[in-house]
Amino acid sequence: MRAVALLRGINVGGKNSLKMEALKTMCESIGFEQVSTYINSGNVIFETTMALDEASSILREAIAKHFVLEIPTLVLSMETIASALAHNPFDPATHNPSYILFYFLFDTPQSASLDIRHATMGEEVRRLGNVVYIYYPEGSGRSKLDVRIDGKKLSLVSTSRNVTTVEKLRNLMEKE
């Protein structure tokens, strides 16, 4: 099965530095096939016969062992990535795609509701399944938006990618 691993917090602000070529080699050593990486932020595309949860655990443990880094890791199927894109609630005709982020949740929340604080004019938040979609019309870097799920900050229970990256990951998964 084609899968993508999304690693949280890789190569951000000089922390959790990880060379993609070394990550690719390590992924091959643990049995993943047709491994490729996309950009420097921890996106690994591969073929596996493992269940997604098993692949995620094995990858997380291998990163801890080989690189001495504790990195939250989420492995998703090509179908999940395609579905996340298909269900994007923000129309590109009215919402600049550069300001849409997809937050992929590591676990299914107990609560169906989101606690949204400090939203400024134009910021929009939607949740569909295990993806939270946020539109930041002024960019996420300046936002004061605070979204919580089950009392925890969204940034601690998810890993985010912009819509362009998610589209590219889908395209790369379809090609190989």
Return the pLDDT at 41: 87
Return the pLDDT at 175: 84
Mean pLDDT for back-to-back runs of 10 residues, the chain (176 residues): 95 83 97 96 96 97 96 97 97 92 92 85 92 94 89 89 96 88
Return the pLDDT at 42: 92
Fold classification of 2-79 (topology level): Alpha-Beta Plaits (3.30.70)
Return the pLDDT at 166: 97
Contacts 24+ apart (CB under 8 A), 145-151: 145/116, 145/117, 145/118, 145/119, 145/120, 146/116, 146/117, 146/118, 147/114, 147/115, 147/116, 147/117, 148/114, 148/115, 148/117, 149/105, 149/109, 149/111, 149/114, 149/115, 150/109, 150/110, 150/111, 151/115
Return the pLDDT at 127: 93
Please tell me the pTM assigned to this model.
0.93
Return the pLDDT at 92: 85
